[in-house]
Structure 1
Amino acid sequence: MKLLFVLIPFLLAVILGRVIIPFIFLITFKKRLFDPIDARKLHTNIIPRLGGVAFVPVQCCLLILTLMITYKTNFTDLHIATWEVFPMFIMLICGLVILFLIGIGDDLIGVGYKWKFVVQIFVAALLPLSGLWINDLYGIFFITQIPAWIGMPFTVFLVVLIINAINLIDGLDGLCSGLVGVCCLVLGGLFVYYAAWIHALFAFITAGVLIPFFYYNVFGKRKRHRRIFMGDTGSMTLGFSVAFLAISFTMNNPNIKPFSEGAIVVAAAPLIVPVFDVARVMLVRLLTGYSVFKPDRNHLHHKLLRSGMSHSTAMLSILGLSLFFCIVNIVGVQFISNNIVLLLDVILWGVITMVFNYIMNKKNKKRTKAVATVEELTPKEL
């Protein structure tokens, strides 16, 4: 019965996403609401970018309706301390609505990055106010429990980091929705394992609504104008959603799930790729004197494309890399300490980055050599 509590809303989310997105197509083409084409973008034709409008209404409505029906009909006993968990979900919904409105404004008329940053900080602060914050590092850097005056600001910082990491990695068809889908399925499965049913419900609803979007984003026919982007409306709300799930799993709170020594490392696993990538990009921008807020083409998916990979191969490679880190961390914490697992994550990411940089440099040298050879040839030789 409890599995049905999760599976039925998951299927409904898939169906609702499939129904809503065609209406978004209709509105965007009637009102000419397309993603702008510029030198940084990978697409060269008009594509709607309001696909993320479908996410928050489905997430919030299905979550509330499912909980209401469950409690009113006594469908199943979830064994959850509602007095502590419900405030967290109320603040989650408030934050999603705020980011939803800011995202729509940004996608339609544009919102300055400073205002978006301020709103993200405000929304991130809602989680500690609800009682949800990182209160235990589980031995990372040999630190266990941490006080509220450290844990709450640290939680706000991580939420803003995750929102921007998900937002910035949204540069390849299927990449953002695929990574968030992986995060939700992994964390949702873990919440089911620990019998944290409301968190599992939200995770699977989010994964469900992403399935039809992923299909249209990746497989939509260009000639029939069936491709769509999620825009900032989608990427920011999805970033906040996975941040909420990851921090909920990380927090040492028996009213959410039983205590787990490897919680923080396991929760971080699905987010390693976007967070490490944005951290690397920001560090490179700082070292080279560029603004950290100025967009560029130095993200992992850009590197993969420049190395010769197709769009679909690059997307699947990054999703596979995310699953790889999930498996490594979930299995690793069973046998070795959290510090060693985290060190392995950093080493693996460093090796992967060095390999891609080596491939990139080798291809660039070949390309430069080929161009120089052509320029040296005389017209007669050509």
Structure 2
Amino acid sequence: MSYLLILLCLSVSIALSFIIIPRILVISYRKKLFDIPDERKVHNQAIPRLGGFSFLPTILFSLFFSIGIRYLVGLQLPVKSLGFIVPEFFFLICGLILLYLAGIKDDLIGLRYRSKFVIQIVAVSMLPLSGLWINNLYGLLGIHELSPWLGIPFTILATVFIINAINLIDGLDGLASGISGISLIIMGSLFFYHDMLIYAMLVFTVLGTLIPFFYYNVFGRAEHCRKIFMGDTGSLTLGYLLAFLIIRYSSCHPELMPCSGKTFTVAFTTLLIPIFDVFRVMLLRTRLHKPLFIADKNHIHHKLLSIDFSPRRSMLTILFMSGAFCVLNMTLVSYINCNVLLLVDIVLYTGINLWIDKVRDAHPSSVLSLNKKI
């Protein structure tokens, strides 16, 4: 029965998303709601950026419909789990609504970054308010159990960071949704393995919502009015959900699953590429004395474009890297210390970036090619 519920979540969200997205495209073209190309963007045509409008309605309908069916067939939530599952999901929805509304305003008329940041802080504060926060680092950087005075601010900071990491990696067709899809497949499988079915249902509902979007985003043709971007509405919603799932899985809660450093490492590994990329870009901006929140072309997808990779090839390369890091860390986490594993990840990621820089510097013409593409 558990398999059937997961399949139901996935199927309903896929079907509903395939129904909603074409209608968003019709509205976007009739009302001329487009993402206009500029010097930073890879596309050269006006393309609708309201794909994220479909995310929250699809997720909520599919999840609650599936939970309703679950109760009808007699699979109620365990009574001992209701005390933390109910507040977590209620406050999660409150935060999602705030970010969804902020994203709508940003996609339609624009929203100042400071206002967006304040809304993000308020939204992510819903997680510790529900009782969910990172309470143990399991020896990472020599830190183990965290008190609420440290764990709650760290959780808020980490969640805001993940939300913006997903937003910033959304620079190529299929990149943000592809990386998120890899993370969701791994997290959904882990939740299902540990018999945390309600969380697995949420994961596969989100995954089902992304599949039709990925199709329209990657394979849709702009000249046929079939291509769409997720916009900030989608990236903020998606980033918040991923942060919630990762923090839920990595937080120590003996009633749900055994507490282990493996869970923390594996959970955050699923978003290692966007996390490392934002850290690298922020360090570079600091070294060059540039504002931290001013957009530039130093993200990893920009770097791959600069060595004459096509947008599609760049996207596939980054997805392969993300999957490879997940496989590597999930394989090694049982054998080596988490700090050593983190160092290995940093060395590998740095080596990849240095190789890209070497190739780019050896072929200066590729920079001109990038400018032409953008």
Question: Normalising by structure 1, what TM-score?
Answer: 0.93
Q: Does the 8 Å CA contact 1:178/1:214 hold for their aligned counterparts? A: yes
Distance in 2, Cα, partners of 1:138 & 1:89: 26
- Going from structure 1 to structure 2, the CA distance change for 1:83 and 1:76 (only over 3 Å counts) comes to closer
SS at match of 1:252: coil
Q: Does the 8 Å CA contact 1:85/1:256 hold for their aligned counterparts? A: no
- Displacement of 1:319: 0.6
- Aligned partner of 2:269 in structure 1 is 269
- Displacement of 1:230: 0.4
- RMSD of aligned C-alpha atoms? 1.6
Distance in 2, Cα, partners of 1:152 & 1:357: 38
Q: Does the 8 Å CA contact 2:135/2:252 hold for their aligned counterparts? A: yes
SS at match of 1:144: strand
Which digits, 9 at most, give the CA deviation of each residue in 1:287-311, with x for residues without a partner? 2122111111110000001111111
Distance in 2, Cα, partners of 1:357 & 1:225: 37
Distance in 2, Cα, partners of 1:194 & 1:247: 15
- Displacement of 1:214: 0.4
- Displacement of 1:12: 1.1
- Displacement of 1:255: 3.0
- Aligned partner of 2:364 in structure 1 is 364
- Aligned partner of 2:58 in structure 1 is 58
SS at match of 1:139: strand
Q: Does the 8 Å CA contact 1:21/1:54 hold for their aligned counterparts? A: yes
Matching of residue 25 in structure 1 with residue 25 in structure 2: yes
- Displacement of 1:7: 1.5
Q: Does the 8 Å CA contact 1:2/1:76 hold for their aligned counterparts? A: no
Matching of residue 123 in structure 1 with residue 123 in structure 2: yes
Q: Does the 8 Å CA contact 1:99/1:237 hold for their aligned counterparts? A: yes
Q: Does the 8 Å CA contact 1:194/1:258 hold for their aligned counterparts? A: no
- Aligned partner of 1:144 in structure 2 is 144
Q: Does the 8 Å CA contact 1:248/1:256 hold for their aligned counterparts? A: no
Distance in 1, Cα, partners of 2:306 & 2:101: 35
- Aligned partner of 2:44 in structure 1 is 44
1:173-184 maps to which residues of 2 (within 5 A)? 173-184=173-184
Which digits, 9 at most, give the CA deviation of each residue in 1:65-116, with x for residues without a partner? 2223323441466686111111111111111111111000000000000000
Q: Report % sequence identity.
A: 44
- Displacement of 1:282: 1.3
Distance in 2, Cα, partners of 1:366 & 1:99: 38
Q: Does the 8 Å CA contact 1:183/1:271 hold for their aligned counterparts? A: yes
Structure 1: gaps spanning 5 or more residues: 369-382
- Going from structure 1 to structure 2, the CA distance change for 1:57 and 1:303 (only over 3 Å counts) comes to same
Which digits, 9 at most, give the CA deviation of each residue in 1:158-191, with x for residues without a partner? 0000000000111100001111111111111111
Distance in 2, Cα, partners of 1:183 & 1:366: 32
Structure 2: gaps spanning 5 or more residues: 369-374
Which digits, 9 at most, give the CA deviation of each residue in 1:35-90, with x for residues without a partner? 02211111111100000001111112222222233234414666861111111111
Structure of higher CA gyration radius: 1
Q: Does the 8 Å CA contact 1:80/1:196 hold for their aligned counterparts? A: no
- Aligned partner of 1:341 in structure 2 is 341
Matching of residue 102 in structure 1 with residue 102 in structure 2: yes
Distance in 1, Cα, partners of 2:366 & 2:323: 33
Which digits, 9 at most, give the CA deviation of each residue in 1:218-244, with x for residues without a partner? 100122111000000000110001000
- Aligned partner of 2:114 in structure 1 is 114
- Aligned partner of 1:300 in structure 2 is 300
Q: Does the 8 Å CA contact 1:25/1:48 hold for their aligned counterparts? A: yes
Matching of residue 189 in structure 1 with residue 201 in structure 2: no
- Aligned partner of 1:250 in structure 2 is 250
- Displacement of 1:367: 7.6
Q: Does the 8 Å CA contact 2:137/2:261 hold for their aligned counterparts? A: no
Distance in 2, Cα, partners of 1:106 & 1:304: 28
Q: Does the 8 Å CA contact 1:101/1:233 hold for their aligned counterparts? A: yes
Distance in 2, Cα, partners of 1:77 & 1:55: 25
Distance in 2, Cα, partners of 1:366 & 1:62: 46
- Displacement of 1:156: 0.2
Moved more, 337-346 or 18-27: 337-346
Q: Does the 8 Å CA contact 1:99/1:233 hold for their aligned counterparts? A: yes
Distance in 1, Cα, partners of 2:291 & 2:316: 30
SS at match of 2:182: helix
- Equivalent residue letter for 1:84: F
- Equivalent residue letter for 1:17: S
Distance in 2, Cα, partners of 1:340 & 1:179: 24
Matching of residue 228 in structure 1 with residue 249 in structure 2: no
